[in-house]
Structure 1
Amino acid sequence: MSIQIHDTLTNGKRELVPLEPGKVRLYVCGPTVYDFAHLGHARCYVVWDVVVRHLRARGLEVTFVRNFTDVDDKIIKRANERREDPIALAARFADAFHEDMDALGNLRPDVEPRVSAHIPEIVALIETLVAKGFAYAPGNGDVYYSVRKFPEYGRLSKRNLDDLISGARVEPGESKADPLDFALWKAAKPGEPAWNSPWGKGRPGWHIECSAMTLKHLGPTIDLHTGGKDLVFPHHTNEIAQSVAATGDGVHADAFSRYWMHNGFVQIDDEKMSKSLGNFFTVRDVLARFDGEALRFFLLGTHYRRDFNFSDAILAEAEKRLGSLYETLDKADKLGAGASPAGRGGAVVDRARAALDDDINTPQVLGQLAEAFTAANAIADRKGKKTPEDRAELAAFGRDVREIGRTLGILQRHPEEALLAIRGRAAARRGIDPAMVEARIRERAAARAAKDFARSDGIRDELLALGVALMDGPQGTSWKVE
């Protein structure tokens, strides 16, 4: 087994070799909780959830740490607008974030540190940086990191100091020695939360928070650090500078995290998602109209490093495809009930794991699943009584696709439960009343019993015109939204 990932630091594919054999220390930059999670969060955290699931499926012991940033300028601004305590506001949105991630099927991290609970560790880390000469306190209560003291600054983002200096500036009220330097500690201002420190009351800067939490919960060198590609600069660039200066050799960027992975952006109808463009969607916005597993299924259809395009039409099509998968799984379960699955584990599982070993290629896995479902449909829909071999094949199919689904976080619901949920969301979007449909199905059954086939066909056509397809079977008539 060789797991290859695209490492942002070296800008190439590398074999993931943990520092300690068999164990992976993984840190994922969590959300700044001042509002509800948006589609960018959904994409990001579904990706890293699959990474964790796959590493564990491959037998690795993963310590998964994802933080909450609950001390930040955006949180303070939002809390002041609402006349609410910033920490309380952040806690409320952290709870909402959990609800949204649960709805997407994401696993909870092993450790979920919050900045507000790590102030002593942050202060101690800043003291270390000052003592080592990588940071300075100008005497006004602020503390800054001296960027030029770290020789590999910008290696992750492939930027050099000359490029950076052209856009750097010193804001009013700042006491930087160099425009490139960034704040580790900010002096207290009225209306802001503040803690005691050797430099006076204040609060941490954004970047130092993750360095301190990583150090406490995973140690000075970790195996894998992930996040959205928007974090490459300045956040992850600054994390490296701080962490290596404080705990490493003070020189080499890879002394902090051995590997870095970053996911692409979300576009809405081919434009970047942005509040200013009015195309900004929260996870709750989307899950009010679409099935949560369908959104996850849709997100996995694009390779994690690529930007992906979102629209209601594309998601609706993905939801229909997921429904079709569950329909096939339902048939296979019923036809293969009681049969011993053929073989100990199908080749489809091996192929899926190999695709995930190759830089978490979820689109390729979904393509492999589509082939497996096509083959299962051919067996299930074949006329005549099913042979023992057919039933064993269908039982094996159900076992294997659920095994793959466990790693992807899909296909884990009972098919009937999933199909009802998907149908309910689709019906609501189309303004279709399920009670009306059921009533029309009863009318149609009465017409058929009376041999009024013209009336029966008319009801079917009326419902089809509304987007409702009827399926007649041994147990009666069921329906779905086309």
Structure 2
Amino acid sequence: MRAWKRPVVPSVPGHSDAPRLHDTATGKIVEARPTDIARLYVCGITPYDATHIGHAATYLAFDTLQRAWLDAGYRVHYAQNITDVDDPLLERATATGVNWRELAESQVELFRTDMEALGIIPPDDYVAVTEVIDEIAAAVDQLWDAGLAYPVDTSDALPGASGEPTADIYFDIRQAERQAPWKLGEESNLDPATMLALFAERGGDPDRAGKRDPLDPLLWRAARAGEPAWPSKAGAGRPGWHIECSVIALKELGTDFTVQGGGSDLIFPHHDMSAGHAAALSGHPLAGVYSHTGMVAYQGEKMSKSLGNLVLVSSLRRAGVDPRAIRLALLAHHYRADWEWTDAQVGDAERRLARWQAAFGAPAASAPGSAAAVVARLRAALTDDLDTPRALAVVDAAAEHPLDDPALLVRAIDALLGVAL
């Protein structure tokens, strides 16, 4: 799957230190220092209604991480998936009478357009689930052969090619904990009751009869009438949610990659389960750091497709909002914070953009401040757990006084904050 056009990221004299990030698994701020190339995986969209401000906030956070790594002198290998076959997409396609593939492609194209407008660095590997069905099916077979998967009878599944009954395939968590370098909850640190509640809320089926453990996740869904399906040794069907990211991440980045990222609503079950699948398949941990963004609310509720309280990037752009102002409005909030979007934030960001553009023109004639010192403070803010509110405050303060080399700061703002003045 093609991604979108990469923005030009200027080089700036000097360099940052390796960024430090909050690691969800340990609850600590840790150094995200790559051993070779910085390898990053961020979970992508399910393309049935893209791109809202909550999406944009997540992808901007990990764009900022990439920019910090690049400024520190590292090469970056970034992979992202597209969940282009899943229950919500199929349900929306049925409800609107649109072919599910056409719906997915239209929303992926809208997402590409939004990301390019916002200046988000694209993934090197932008992989749709439908492009790696064979690899996912092979991974399910591997887990089956290792005794880590089992069937659950499925009364509404289509029969196999020879008329035999087919079954859904589930991951055996307890057996995997005995065999793989992984324990359920080692990333989320949640208690069992909370896990059960979130599992039911976020696509799981804890009450499914025939499962060995209520939290065992689906690996392969047997074919149903009216649903897309692909052949596999387990029978015709399609992937479960968590296994897709495990397979794509391992395929593109290998094991023990630098950072696994996504919204905090993915911590459990998605990231816990993806890490378990990957550990069972490879014998290694999935990632060194698990980093998560906060949730964005609107009108008093978490912004979500199910509630319909979405502020779409494309709608803001159609209304004439400068994408740089959208970017600044998002950067005004720390990536880990939960916060609420208001229409007033666009105006605040537009005024900030105008102040910066007016301030950083010709060099000062006398008693100038040091642009290099401002760049150093900007770098320090971003390497400290991607503290973008502090970074914006650094630039705001610099705009109040003349600088000896405003062009240097302009390059740094573009390189590190992605805002071209």
Question: TM-score surpassing 0.5?
Answer: yes
CA distance, structure 1, for counterparts of residue 122 and residue 198 of structure 2: 39
What's 1:434 paired with?
none
What's 1:419 paired with?
none
Displacement of 1:179: 1.7
Residues 1:78 and 2:108 are matched in the alignment = no
Displacement of 1:64: 0.8
What's 2:21 paired with?
5
What's 1:362 paired with?
388
Moved more, 204-213 or 138-147: 138-147
1:156 counterpart SS class: coil
CA distance, structure 1, for counterparts of residue 208 and residue 18 of structure 2: 52
CA distance, structure 2, for counterparts of residue 171 and residue 150 of structure 1: 18
Residues 1:45 and 2:71 are matched in the alignment = no
CA distance, structure 2, for counterparts of residue 274 and residue 342 of structure 1: 45
What's 2:185 paired with?
154
> Is 1:137–1:199's contact at 8 Å kept on the other side of the alignment?
no
Which of 267, 280, 283 is matched with 2:297 structurally?
267
CA distance, structure 2, for counterparts of residue 309 and residue 167 of structure 1: 22
Displacement of 1:291: 1.6
Change (3 A) 1:276 1:399: same
Residues 1:182 and 2:217 are matched in the alignment = yes
Larger RCO, structures 1/2 (Cα 8 Å, 6+ apart): 2
Moved more, 154-163 or 127-136: 154-163
* Paired AA for residue 362 in structure 1: T
Which of 86, 108, 126 is matched with 2:140 structurally?
126
CA distance, structure 1, for counterparts of residue 237 and residue 151 of structure 2: 13
Change (3 A) 1:166 1:372: closer
> Is 1:141–1:201's contact at 8 Å kept on the other side of the alignment?
no
CA distance, structure 2, for counterparts of residue 276 and residue 221 of structure 1: 34
Greater helix content: 1
> Is 1:221–1:258's contact at 8 Å kept on the other side of the alignment?
yes
CA distance, structure 1, for counterparts of residue 41 and residue 131 of structure 2: 17
Displacement of 1:208: 0.5
Displacement of 1:220: 2.4
Displacement of 1:261: 0.6
What per-residue deviation string (whole Å, max 9, x for no partner) do you get for residues 32-78 of structure 1? 11122111111111111111111111101110111111011111112
> Is 2:195–2:268's contact at 8 Å kept on the other side of the alignment?
no
Change (3 A) 1:357 1:145: same
Change (3 A) 1:138 1:310: closer
What per-residue deviation string (whole Å, max 9, x for no partner) do you get for residues 306-340 of structure 1? 012211112212211211211223xx24x679xxx
Displacement of 1:84: 2.9
Displacement of 1:404: 2.9
* Paired AA for residue 21 in structure 2: I
Displacement of 1:175: 4.0
* Paired AA for residue 327 in structure 2: R
Moved more, 122-131 or 134-143: 134-143
Change (3 A) 1:164 1:54: closer
Return 5+ residue gaps in structure 1 as ranges. Answer: 250-254, 377-392, 414-482
Return 5+ residue gaps in structure 2 as ranges. Answer: 1-16, 154-165, 178-182
Which of 374, 383, 407 is matched with 1:398 structurally?
407
Displacement of 1:347: 1.2
1:195 counterpart SS class: coil
* Paired AA for residue 112 in structure 2: H
1:374 counterpart SS class: coil
What per-residue deviation string (whole Å, max 9, x for no partner) do you get for residues 102-150 of structure 1? 1111121111011000011101111111112221124633110112224
What's 1:285 paired with?
315
CA distance, structure 2, for counterparts of residue 172 and residue 155 of structure 1: 23
Question: What is the identity percentage for the equivalent residue pairs of Structure 1 and Structure 2?
Answer: 38
Change (3 A) 1:94 1:348: same
Provide TM-score, normalisation by structure 1: 0.74
What per-residue deviation string (whole Å, max 9, x for no partner) do you get for residues 428-452 of structure 1? xxxxxxxxxxxxxxxxxxxxxxxxx
CA distance, structure 2, for counterparts of residue 284 and residue 162 of structure 1: 39
1:194 counterpart SS class: coil
What's 1:58 paired with?
72
Displacement of 1:342: 9.6
> Is 2:369–2:401's contact at 8 Å kept on the other side of the alignment?
no
Q: Alignment length, in residue pairs?
A: 382
Displacement of 1:87: 2.2
What's 1:225 paired with?
260
What's 1:321 paired with?
352
CA distance, structure 1, for counterparts of residue 27 and residue 295 of structure 2: 18
Compute the RMSD of aligned alpha carbons. Answer: 2.4
